[in-house]
């Protein structure tokens, strides 16, 4: 229970950056009393609850609030912020223009940064990997400039405190460390994105973030297990 008679359930997978994003929003809003329902197998055995709650995309995360389902991670974060208005702090700015810009850059993070970074892992040839990495680096550099403009010298996208874009990008932090540990790819570095490097360390050190962000070694182990399982399935074992 989230308090005040609100029943909250979160359908997710602990390693998903999109699920981590929603968990971060709940954590920073002080909403720790929710039922976390882990989807054991999103590829071969999705639960009936997930299929019922998100019949269109059949993906996590799904937030169920008093029996009603909210899907797509950024929409879930916005819903949490707008619904639980007595839970400080507010993630989205009050001023309409600033809210619009936060949503714009939130979409950029998913459509450009996330998409190209995921493609680096999925690339089948070295040429495809190099092109995806080039696009990812370009997205990082653009986001570095955006952080400088939006934060205006303050520690977070939200200024002195964590805001909407900090939560949106925060779900990506484990993937940043995973990419370096697993593939030797350092997306944020002191040369092209020193502000984002400092932001990652600052955000990750917050208690509300530390309570959610998974250990990188656990992520690597989980990824290796999934790859081994997929190979076994492909081989017919």
State phi, psi for 38 to the nearest 5 degrees.
-85, 125
Q: pLDDT category, 183, cuts 50, 70, 90?
A: confident
Contact 108, 143 (CB under 8 A): yes
Report the CATH number that the domain containing residue 40 is assigned in CATH: 3.40.30.10
Q: Are residues 104 and 193 in the same domain?
A: yes
> DSSP label at 114?
I
Q: Does the predicted TM-score (pTM) go above 0.85?
A: yes
Q: Are residues 41 and 108 in the same domain?
A: no
Domain membership of residue 177 as a residue range: 96-218
Q: Are residues 111 and 175 in the same domain?
A: yes
CA dihedral of 1, 13, 144, 150, whole degrees rounded to 10:
-20
Lowest mean pLDDT among 134-138, 178-182, 231-235: 231-235
Q: Are residues 100 and 214 in the same domain?
A: yes
Contacts of 115 (CB under 8 A, 6+ apart): none
Please report whether residue 2 resides in a domain.
Answer: no
Q: What is the average pLDDT value for the chain, to the nearest integer? A: 93
Instruction: Please tell me the total count of domains within the chain.
Output: 2
Q: Which of 84, 114, 142 is where one domain is finished?
A: 84
């Amino acid at each position: 229970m989230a308090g005040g008679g609100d029943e909250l359930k979160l359908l997710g997978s602990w390693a998903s950056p999109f699920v981590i994003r929603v968990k971060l929003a709940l954590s920073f809003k002080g909403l720790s009393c929710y039922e976390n329902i882990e989807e054991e197998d999103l590829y071969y055995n999705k639960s009936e609850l997930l299929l019922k709650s998100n019949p269109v995309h059949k993906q996590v995360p799904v937030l169920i609030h008093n029996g009603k389902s909210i899907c797509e991670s950024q929409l879930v974060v916005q819903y949490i912020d707008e619904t639980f208005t007595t839970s400080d702090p507010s993630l989205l700015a009050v001023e309409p223009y600033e809210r619009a810009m936060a949503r714009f850059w939130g979409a950029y993070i998913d459509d450009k940064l996330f998409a190209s970074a995921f493609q680096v892992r999925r690339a089948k040839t070295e040429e495809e990997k190099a092109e995806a990495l080039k696009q990812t680096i370009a997205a990082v550099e653009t986001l570095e400039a955006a952080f400088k403009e939006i934060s205006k010298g303050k520690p977070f996208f939200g200024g002195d405190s964590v805001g909407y874009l900090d939560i949106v990008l925060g779900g990506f932090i484990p993937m940043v460390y995973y990419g370096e540990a697993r593939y030797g790819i350092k997306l944020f570095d002191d040369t092209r994105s020193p502000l984002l490097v400092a932001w990652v360390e600052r955000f990750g050190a917050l208690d509300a973030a530390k309570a959610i962000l998974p250990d990188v070694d656990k992520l690597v182990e989980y990824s290796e297990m999934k790859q081994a399982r997929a190979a076994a399935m492909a081989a017919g074992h």
